Structure 1
Amino acid sequence: MHEPDITLIASLIGEPARARMLTALMSGKALTATELSLEADITAQTASSHLAKLVEGSLLSVRKQGRHKYFQLKNQRVAGLIEQLLTLSSEITLKTHTGPADPYLRQARVCYDHIAGELGIQLYDALAEANYIEDKQVETLLTPDGADFFEQLGVCIHTLRKKKRPICKSCLDWSERRNHLAGSLGQWILTDALERGWLQRVPDSRALMLDKIRGNLFAKTYGIAFTGNTEK
C-alpha cells in the first residue's frame, strides 16, 4: 500500500520564499507573479519558478486574465494548513507573544475567506451565546435558531448544505488561540460585510477595519461590542 508522502508538501512550504508567498495569499486575494515576488523579496524569474512548483504540488491554482496570470491558494484545506503552521511556528518561536505583531492584524484580519483576530473571536462567541452555533469541541454546528437567523439575513442555508464544504467549521485563531468561524457560513459573513460596507479591507494587508459610519451595523447585527480597528 502506498503511504502518503508528507515530505513533498513540507519541502514546498518550507522554502522561505515560497512560505512568504503562501502567507501573502492568505488574504484571499489573487496575486500576480510580480506582486508575489515583491512579497517574497525575490526576482520575478525566481518567483515564477517557485510558483510553478506550488501549482504542480496542488497548493496553488492559477488563472489567466488578459496578459496576467493570477495565483490563489488551491482551496480552504490549503489555507487551513497555512494558518495552523503559522500558529505552530509562533508557539515554537514566541513564548510570550502569539500571532502577528501588527495590532491591526491582531484585532481584525482576513483568514483566507473569513474573519479572524479579536473580531473573529467576538463574532464566534456571540453566535454561540445566541445559540446560533453549537461548539461541540470536535465540530461546530449550525443550530435551528441559527439557520432561521441567517435566512433572515439573506443566506440560503439549503444551498450551503449542498456544498461539500462544511457550513460551520471552527478555526484556531493564530493570535488569540481560540476559535473563530470558518466554513461556508464564515465565508458568507465576511463577503456580506464587505459588500454592505460594514467592513473595509486595509490596502496591501490582511487587516480589516470597521467602516466609521456603517461598522456599527455589523456589531449590532451580530451582537458584539468590537472597539478595535475603525476606518478614519
Structure 2
Amino acid sequence: MSDSASANRYQLAELGALLAEPARAAMLLALADGTARPAGELAHAAGVGAATASAHLKRLLEGGLLGVHVQGRHRYYRLASDEVAALLEAMAMPRMALPLPRPAGADLALRRARSCYRHLAGELGVAMCDALLERGYLHTQSAGLQLLPVGVEALIHAGLEETHAEKLLRLSGRGCLDWTERRLHVGGPLGVAMTTAMLDAGWLRRASSGRALVPSADGLRRLGSLGVRIDPQRS
C-alpha cells in the first residue's frame, strides 16, 4: 500500500470517528445554516454540559471541521468551509436505491426549502437551478457554474435590485448534490450571493428556528416568472 493510500485511510477513519459521536454531529448540524454560534448554544443543541462541549469543539477544530472567530472574550464557532457543509449534506443522503420517505411537519418545510450552509437547497433550490439552466441563464463550465448576462437581466426584470444582480456576474458557483431531492442546487459563492439577494428582496425569509427558508407568495410569483416551479402536491 502506498504512503498516500495509507494516509487517506487513516484520515477517513479519523473523519468517521469525529462524526460518529452524536453530540459532535448535533453541533455540526446546528452550524449547517452558515451561522457562527457560541459554545453555550452548541452545548444546548447537543444536549451536553459545558465541559463536554468544550472537549468536543476542540476535537472538531483539530479535525479541521470547524473554524472559530474570536471577538473580545467571546468565541464563535462555524463550519470551516463550504466543502465541510457539502460533506455533511452528502453524508445525510439516503441510499440512492431506497425511496424517499414522505416528510411531515418540520421535515416537510426543510425539504421544500432550506439553507445548505448559506445557499438555497431543497425542492425550491433544485427547481431554481433546473430553470436557470434550462433557460440558458446559468452556464456550466470547467470552473463551475456561471450566471450569464442574460440571466442577470432576467433576475432584474423579476425584481432583484440591479446592484445585487450585477454582482452575481463576478462569482462562480458549483453544483451541490441535494440530499432530499438527489439532484443539484447552486452552491458556492454564487449560490450564497443569490440566496442573500432573495432574502434581502423578501422572496425568502428564515424560519424562526432551524434551517428552513420560507418563500413568500410574492417570491414564488417572481421565481415563477423565471420558470421556477415546485409541486404543490408535495406540500
- TM-score scaled by length of structure 2: 0.80
Give 1:206's aligned residue.
211
Give 2:79's aligned residue.
73
* Counterpart-to-counterpart distance in 2, 1:205 and 1:111: 11
* Counterpart-to-counterpart distance in 2, 1:210 and 1:141: 24
The change in CA–CA distance for 1:124 and 1:110 in structure 2 (over 3 A counts) is same
Stretches of structure 1 lacking an aligned partner (at least 5 in a row): 161-166
* Counterpart-to-counterpart distance in 1, 2:188 and 2:150: 14
- RMSD, matched Cα: 2.7
Give 1:178's aligned residue.
183
Count of residue pairs the alignment pairs up: 216
* Counterpart-to-counterpart distance in 2, 1:78 and 1:59: 6
Q: Which one of the candidate residues 92, 95, 98 is aligned to 1:95?
A: 98
DSSP-derived class of the 1:222 partner: coil
Stretches of structure 2 lacking an aligned partner (at least 5 in a row): 157-161
**Contact preservation (8 Å) 1:219, 1:226:** no
What letter matches 1:14 in structure 2? A
**Contact preservation (8 Å) 2:178, 2:185:** yes
**Contact preservation (8 Å) 1:27, 1:110:** yes
Q: Is 1:157 paired with 2:162?
A: no
Identity of aligned residues (%): 38
Give 1:163's aligned residue.
none
Give 2:194's aligned residue.
189
* Counterpart-to-counterpart distance in 1, 2:12 and 2:230: 40
Please give the residue correspondences for 1:84-123 in structure 2 after superposition, counting only pairs within 5 Å: 84-87=90-93, 90-91=94-95, 95-97=98-100, 102-123=107-128
* Counterpart-to-counterpart distance in 1, 2:152 and 2:214: 28
DSSP-derived class of the 2:209 partner: coil
**Contact preservation (8 Å) 1:139, 1:170:** no
Please give the residue correspondences for 1:219-230 in structure 2 after superposition, counting only pairs within 5 Å: 219-220=223-224, 222-226=226-230
* Counterpart-to-counterpart distance in 2, 1:8 and 1:225: 42
* Counterpart-to-counterpart distance in 1, 2:222 and 2:58: 40
* Counterpart-to-counterpart distance in 2, 1:209 and 1:134: 27
* Counterpart-to-counterpart distance in 2, 1:125 and 1:79: 22
**Contact preservation (8 Å) 2:139, 2:148:** no
Cα distance, 1:178 vs structure 2: 0.8
What letter matches 1:142 in structure 2? Q
**Contact preservation (8 Å) 1:31, 1:71:** yes
Cα distance, 1:78 vs structure 2: 0.8
* Counterpart-to-counterpart distance in 2, 1:211 and 1:66: 38
Cα distance, 1:182 vs structure 2: 0.6
DSSP-derived class of the 2:95 partner: helix
Structure 1 residues 174-207: Cα deviation after superposition (integer angstroms, max 9, x where no partner): 1011111112111111111112222110122100
**Contact preservation (8 Å) 2:152, 2:166:** no
